[in-house]
């Protein structure tokens, strides 16, 4: 008798439970619907489209026409400046990123000193990172002017050799690396936060064991900072591979293609010559290179990045 009365009740309660569950799902997706739609419309959809475009000939005003892998083959074999653009971008990334990492790390070490007025100094070093890229490109173009620039004036005053900087194919790219170091403040604040997160007790314990400053630095500071170094390295690499504005505004890729960055080539293909198919192939090649690089950095990370296991 109990069974007969409870069956509908159970059915009722399960129905209510599923209705409640369904309600929760609908409600949840309602809240995150902006980003779900956004990812579908502005990220995933376009990615699929661009993958398709990369196998087509697509001069924007006509419909895309399937050409197979011809864009990729042409890109690697016939494109006049493709390898030059790769060389420029890789050289820039391989010099600028390590120099930036070391520079911002050293800066953070100095700015971690407990001296009066340190916040003022931290601000001084961070401020360049908020300057708009266009403004800083204009300003640095003038600072590095070979004939009337301040940097050459200072070099001359110090009795050092002057340089043609951005006007000479030999020195144009190194000048841009130098300029990028003006922005080390961005990495610096992240290191600074990392440094301040290292528990003081570690240093105290090591000091009791008789470790000197150098050993403290090498065996505590460096290992504890590796996750932060790792983060800055990944973000730095991704950024360096996509350099555009500084080169576009300051040199337009010259002289003699010495600062012809990958993204500059891509921009010209897509928006000057409207070769959307070829430009998509270039964009996908860049994506794959960045992906492989990031993966390599991630893979190598368990060799050198120290992750604190939570024992508390």
Q: Which of 111, 166, 172, 305 is the binder for another protein (CB under 8 A)?
A: 111
- Cα–Cα distance list, 24 to 28, 132, 276, 295 (Å): 6, 44, 43, 36
Give the list of residues 6+ apart from residue 182 with CB closer than 8 angstroms, or none. 128, 136, 140
Q: Is 128 in the site for another protein (CB under 8 A)?
A: yes
- Sort residue 165 into left (φ over 0), alpha (ψ -120 to 50) or beta: left
Taking CB under 8 A as the rule, which mask of x and - marks residues 4-23 in contact with another protein?
A: --------------------
Taking CB under 8 A as the rule, which mask of x and - marks residues 171-210 in contact with another protein?
A: -----------x--xx--xx-xxx-xx-------------
- Cα–Cα distance list, 282 to 90, 217, 285 (Å): 15, 44, 5
Q: Is 298 in the site for another protein (CB under 8 A)?
A: no
Q: Which stretch binds another protein (CB under 8 A): 65-73, 81-89, 282-290, 303-311?
A: 282-290
Q: Which of 10, 118, 256, 296 is the binder for another protein (CB under 8 A)?
A: 118
Give the footprint of another protein on residues 66-105 (CB under 8 A): none
Q: Which of 11, 73, 102, 153 is the binder for another protein (CB under 8 A)?
A: 153
For Cα atoms 222, 290, 136, give the angle at the middle one, nearest 5 degrees: 75
For Cα atoms 136, 139, 142, give the angle at the middle one, nearest 5 degrees: 145
Q: Which of 62, 78, 147, 161 is the binder for another protein (CB under 8 A)?
A: 147
Give the residues across from 66 on adjacent strands. Answer: 56
Please, which residue, 6 or 21, has the CB nearer to another protein?
Answer: 21
């Amino acid at each position: 008798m109990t069974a007969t009365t409870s069956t509908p009740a159970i059915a009722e309660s399960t129905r209510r439970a599923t209705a409640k569950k369904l309600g929760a799902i609908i409600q949840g997706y309602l809240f995150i619907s902006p980003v779900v739609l956004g990812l579908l419309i502005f990220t995933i959809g376009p990615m699929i489209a661009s993958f398709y475009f990369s196998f087509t000939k697509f001069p924007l005003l006509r419909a895309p026409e399937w050409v197979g892998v011809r864009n990729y083959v042409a890109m690697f074999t016939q494109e006049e400046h493709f390898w030059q653009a790769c060389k420029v971008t890789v050289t820039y990334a391989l010099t600028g990123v390590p120099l930036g990492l070391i520079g911002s790390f050293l800066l953070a070490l100095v700015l971690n000193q407990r001296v009066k007025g340190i916040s003022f100094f931290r601000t001084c070093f961070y401020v360049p990172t908020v300057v708009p890229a266009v403004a800083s490109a204009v300003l640095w173009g003038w600072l590095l002017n070979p004939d009337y620039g301040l940097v050459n004036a200072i070099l001359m005053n110090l009795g050092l050799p002057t340089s043609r900087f951005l006007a000479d194919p030999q020195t144009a790219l190194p000048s841009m690396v130098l300029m990028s170091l003006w922005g080390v403040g961005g990495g610096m604040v992240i290191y600074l936060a990392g440094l301040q997160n290292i528990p003081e007790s570690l240093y105290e314990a090591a000091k009791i064991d008789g470790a000197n400053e150098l050993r403290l630095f090498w065996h505590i500071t460096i290992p504890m900072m590796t996750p932060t170094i790792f983060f800055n390295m990944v973000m730095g690499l991704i950024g360096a591979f996509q350099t555009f504005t500084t080169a576009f505004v300051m040199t337009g890729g010259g002289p003699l293609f010495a600062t012809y960055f990958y993204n500059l080539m891509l921009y010209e293909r897509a928006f000057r010559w409207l070769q959307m198919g070829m430009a998509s192939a270039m964009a996908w090649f860049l994506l794959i290179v960045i992906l492989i690089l990031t993966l390599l950095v991630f893979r190598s990370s368990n060799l050198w990045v120290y992750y604190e296991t939570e024992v508390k």
